[in-house]
């Protein structure tokens, strides 16, 4: 077991806990050097999924703490500013109303539960002979 210093492709530096022969350790360091660090990857995943952790000022520190439990010590800033969300709605369908649909097509309104049950019950009686 050894801690090996490395620099990831994102620019963060740190060290990794490695096991095995020296050839395997060197290969792992070279592999990790071509990738983002685990902290940057985690923050990217949180932002993509809309996770509330992505909005925290200390999100990189939180991700680095998670990475440390996986054998990677990453030097990251203590805080990073969070981008403000747009104030306008980005949903293109937000202004469309479906009220006119129900007014123009009264025959497709949802039926009350009792009427729907009577239809299902009559079908069951005709099809299965009232088994259910």
Domain ranges of the chain: 2-74, 100-128
Mean pLDDT value across the chain = 76
Check residues 97 and 24 and name the one with the higher pLDDT.
24
Q: Which long-range contacts (CB under 8 A, 24 or more apart) does 44-50 make?
A: none
Give the integer Cα–Cα distance in Å for 56 and 30: 32
Report the candidate in 26, 35, 27 with the shortest Cα–Cα distance to residue 7: 35
Q: Which residue has tokens 């990217």?
A: 44
Contact assessment for residue 56 and residue 82, using Cβ atoms and an 8 Å cutoff = yes
Whole-structure pTM value: 0.56
The per-residue pLDDT for range 76-127, each reduced to its tens digit, is 877 666 666 555 656 666 666 665 555 555 555 555 656 666 666 666 666 6
The secondary structure element, H or E, covering residue 16 is: strand 13-18
């Amino acid at each position: 077991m050894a801690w090996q210093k490395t620099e990831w492709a994102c620019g963060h530096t740190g060290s990794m806990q490695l096991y095995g022969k020296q050839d395997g350790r060197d290969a792992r360091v070279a592999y990790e050097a071509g990738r983002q660090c685990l902290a940057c990857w985690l923050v990217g995943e949180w932002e993509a999924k809309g996770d509330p952790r992505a909005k925290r000022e200390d999100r990189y520190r939180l991700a680095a703490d998670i990475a440390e439990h996986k054998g990677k010590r990453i030097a990251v800033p203590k805080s990073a500013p969070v981008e403000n969300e747009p104030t306008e709605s980005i949903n293109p369908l937000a202004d469309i109303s479906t009220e006119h649909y129900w007014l123009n097509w009264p025959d497709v309104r949802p039926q009350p539960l009792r009427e729907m049950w009577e239809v299902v019950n009559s079908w069951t009686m005709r099809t299965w002979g009232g088994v259910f």
